Amino acid sequence: MAAFQLVSALVLSLFLQIQRSVLMVDGAIGVNWGTLSSHRLQPSIVVDLMKENKISKVKLFDADPTVLRALAGSGIQVMVGIPNDMLGILGSSPATSDLWVTQNVSRYMVKGGVDIRYIAVGNEPFLTSYQGQYQSLVLPAMLNLQQSLTKANLGGYVKLVVPCNADAYQSATLPSQGTFRPELTQIMTQLVSFLNSNGSPFVVNIYPFLSLYQSSDFPQDYAFFGGSSHPVVDGPSVYYNAFDGNFDTLVAALTKIGFGQMPIAIGEVGWPTDGAASANLSAARAFNQGLISNVLNNKGTPLRPGVPPVDVYLFSLLDEEQKSVLPGNFERHWGIFSFDGQAKYPLVIGLGNGRLKNAKNVQYLPSRWCVANPSRDLDAVANHMKLACSVADCTTLFYGGSCNAIGDKGNISYAFNSYYQLQKQEARSCDFDGLGMVTFLDPSIGDCRFLVGISDSSCSCIGCGIFAGLWIMTLWVLMYLRVLGSL
């Protein structure tokens, strides 16, 4: 048995070395693939969409088995994610860590399997809004996970990272003054030391859009890559865009804790297309194309000239209309593709690539819509609209949205239709006490698109999603009890 295990380990190691040498793609642009949507494309269609557009890297927010199975044999480099609420148990129980690696990493890394390169340990766990809830849990989880990867003969191939929000560091005015937040200095020093010793990059999420959205005084041209009439002069360094300034603030912070040469990857960066005055198709195209050109031309930044980030993951691949709108209505509109895999605007995402290609073989529901009944008095419609928009996505109807100017009846019809499509065009879902009616004429108005849902038998409705979530939670409880019983 020992000899068999040794041979298996050698074969796996050889396979991984060959796979890495064949699939390593430098300077490529990756994407974030989130699944908080009630209109979910089949994972196989999404994988084909990425392959068709030569997207060679993808970052996930969990380790969904259906998604990972679809990625098998694709050649796409994958980052799987661990939610923040799992950090505690992974850090306190080596057995649970072993089990997680076995179930979510090792089982997929076989010949013809999934090329998992990174594990994201938490997602922005140091956010100020979490008030330190996860700060002490990150390192213990990483230590256990590293041991688990080593046991699985994956310790030198799969790298652990921690995607951090840019609020983990700060500067009074200039990038060169960058430091980590005082309460994070010790933790960050330990974390970066761990990352450095294991050959992992520092992963940061940078959003110039949010700087513009949150401050009326922020110079609009400074958010983009076309040069600015308000450059930031920092000694010999001059910054013409917010991305470079933010990036070098992190470089300065890393330098101050002794890791100035630490490789940096961009875990999330992008621009939304709807839901705010500054969120539109032209702005999103300008920002993303400028970013891609900046990265692929190896321009670097003033503190790291000629040294671009080691990886860049656009946020995001697809719109997610079930995301929280607490930060703003734009949260549901970050995709370079709409929910159904249709390109929103022309974008060249890699050297030698053409413009974005649309998803193929998308199965839509029948071409019919739910609209306000023109023969009925709509004075009593308020509660119906409130119900519809509490479940379906109506964010485009608000200020800055693409459907903001379609009038009262248009608003009612949009809300009714969004709910109707969410319910898979179930006949009663267009009743609204007789105020709604089904039409076969597309009610879209100008840039305001009235959607038709996707036909998908695999848990795409909200009820199915909740059931799946409860089932996964139950499995974790059972595994946890099993682990406790073996200690």
Catalytic residue positions, numbered: 124, 268
Instruction: List Cα–Cα distances, 194 to 190, 242, 487, in angstroms.
Output: 6, 29, 27
Tell me if 432 sits within 8 A of 372, measured CB to CB: no
- Report how far residue 195's alpha carbon sits from residue 202's, in angstroms, rounded to the nearest whole number: 7
Beta-bridge partner residues of 80: 119
- Residue 471: is it exposed, middle or buried by C-beta count within 10 angstroms (0-12/13-18/19+)? exposed
For 20-37, letters b (16+ CB in 10 Å) and e give eeeeeeeebbbbbbbbbb
Cis peptide before 316 (omega within 30 of 0): yes
Angle at 141 between CA 135 and CA 146, to 5 degrees: 135
State the alpha helices, DSSP H only, in 314-430.
382-391, 407-422
- Token pair of 425 as six digits: 């065009």
Tell me if 340 sits within 8 A of 332, measured CB to CB: no
- Report how far residue 344's alpha carbon sits from residue 71's, in angstroms, rounded to the nearest whole number: 24
Angle at 140 between CA 138 and CA 143, to 5 degrees: 110
Tell me if 145 sits within 8 A of 95, measured CB to CB: no
- Report how far residue 327's alpha carbon sits from residue 30's, in angstroms, rounded to the nearest whole number: 24
| Amino acid identity, position 313 | Y
Instruction: List Cα–Cα distances, 145 to 102, 228, 486, in angstroms.
Output: 11, 44, 19
Q: How many CB atoms lie within 10 A of CB 55?
A: 23
Residues composing the chain: 487
Beta-bridge partner residues of 304: 301
The dihedrals phi and psi of 444, each to the nearest 5 degrees, come to: -55, 145
β-bridge pairing 115-121 and 159-161: parallel
- Report how far residue 459's alpha carbon sits from residue 457's, in angstroms, rounded to the nearest whole number: 6
3-state helix, strand, coil in the chain (%, to 5): 45, 15, 40
